[in-house]
Amino acid sequence: MYRIVFICGFLLAVAKTSSSAAHNNRINLRSFIPQQLQIDPCYDEDRPMRCMPDFVNAAFGRTIEASSTCGMNGPEKYCDADGKCHICNINDSSKNFSAAALSDIHNMQNLTCWRSEPRPMTNTNFGFDNTPDNVTLTLSFGKKFELTYVSLLFCPGAIKPDSMAIYKSADYGKTWQPFQFYSSQCKKLYGRTSKLQITKRNEQEPRCLDHNRFATDGMSGIQGSRIAFSTLEGRPSANEFDTSAILQDWVTATDIRVIFHRLQSPLAAQQMKARMKSEIISSSKETASTLSPNSLLSAGTGTYALSDFSVGGRCKCNGHASRCIKNTDGLLECECKHNTAGRDCEKCKPFYFDRPWARATVQNANECKGEFYFKLILTIQGIDTLD
């Protein structure tokens, strides 16, 4: 009996406090306006609704790890497609081409670039062989994101690589899954046809495209051009994304890795060989001092060169949070609503298991419910007589 009286008294005190607060809000506009400004995107008044974090460039400001950087071990010479040669040196700010340039503010008026170590082309094999270069760029988000695109912008004067692959990891780099391939020889390098048709039966299948198939000069694409991979383009269930668990998994990633396998296509390599052979013949009639400083024979080095690495997407919260924040351990996690929990709001909070957890959709927020468990607790405590 004492327990019932205590609870009734507590509820009455709460009701009086709420009534007083409501009265003060009605007569005090200054307290009313801030309340209106703090709108929760996850609720329409008291009704739960789907909410998502803002769309961002998930690569911006993050550390990108490069397996190869020009000038890392001291000054090195590299040459662009136009034959002009320069020096790179990690210790000289004016000649520094570190991977930090890939995730900074992209400013066309003050362009920064990352460059790999130069690939030497000797007189004997001209640097063209069947061994992949395997130059990698790895980007870690520190949390699951749902990605819309991966964009790579190449430096002015640089050659767009002939063959490269984009991989994703959804388990913080433990395992990797191919996202997309690019090559003029898809079958030979990646064992895939360039004419693969994506259907609902293979929506997580990566494609291989020849992005240089319209080039007429044999070189690997337009200088300073961009490669943009759209994660949902050509996927039949893209318009049903809310209900497609397969595509939701397909776009989910904690890490992205780009692997450059070959700088130039076989046709470009043949043309380069012919030019270098011509120079060798002419050089036999010249001394080293008379060779052009930009001669392919005296330079003969090319690099992979990128000015921007962008990844568009949202922090993955399954429709149950409007933003991601850092927890006490410094890890990024969703600020979960709808009685959900977990870094990705991927489960219900304790005692909110009246129905199975589900991702929020436009039609249904799928809020976790816990009325049954609260009634059960009251019953166990012997205060169910309040009904």
Residue 235 is encoded by which pair of tokens? Answer: 């996927």
Sorted by sequence, the CB contacts under 8 Å of residue 263 that are 6+ apart come out as 119, 133, 159, 161, 162, 220, 302, 304
Residue 385 is encoded by which pair of tokens? Answer: 């007589």
One DSSP character per residue, 178-229 reads EEEEE-S-HHHHHS--TTPPP-TTSTTPPEEE-TTTT-SSSSSS-TT-EEEE
pLDDT at residue 164 tops 50: yes
Average pLDDT of the chain to the nearest whole number:
80
- As a whole number of angstroms, the distance between CA 167 and CA 161 comes to 16
Q: According to the model, what pLDDT value does residue 235 have? A: 97
Pairing of strands 177-182, 85-88: unpaired
- As a whole number of angstroms, the distance between CA 352 and CA 335 comes to 17
Q: Which of 20-34, 97-111, 163-177, 229-243 has the lowest mean pLDDT?
A: 20-34
- As a whole number of angstroms, the distance between CA 370 and CA 387 comes to 17
Name the pLDDT band for 331 (thresholds 50, 70, 90): very high
In this prediction, residues 200-214 reach a mean pLDDT of 86
Pairing of strands 163-169, 56-57: unpaired
pTM above 0.85, yes or no: no
Name the pLDDT band for 99 (thresholds 50, 70, 90): very high
Cα angle for residues 148, 150, 152 (degrees, 5° grid): 155
State residue 199 phi and psi, 5-degree precision: -125, 180
Pair 294, 287: CB distance under 8 Å: no
- As a whole number of angstroms, the distance between CA 294 and CA 298 comes to 7
Q: What is the CATH number of domain 56-315?
A: 2.60.120.260
How is the chain split into domains, by residue range? 1-38, 56-315
**pLDDT tens-digit map of 106-138:** 777 778 999 999 876 543 344 445 567 899 999
Tell me which residue of 234, 227, 233 sits closest to 258, measured CA to CA.
227
Q: According to the model, what pLDDT value does residue 374 have? A: 61
Q: What is the dihedral of CA 360, 365, 371, 374, to 10 degrees?
A: 60
Tell me which residue of 153, 149, 68, 147 sits closest to 102, measured CA to CA.
153
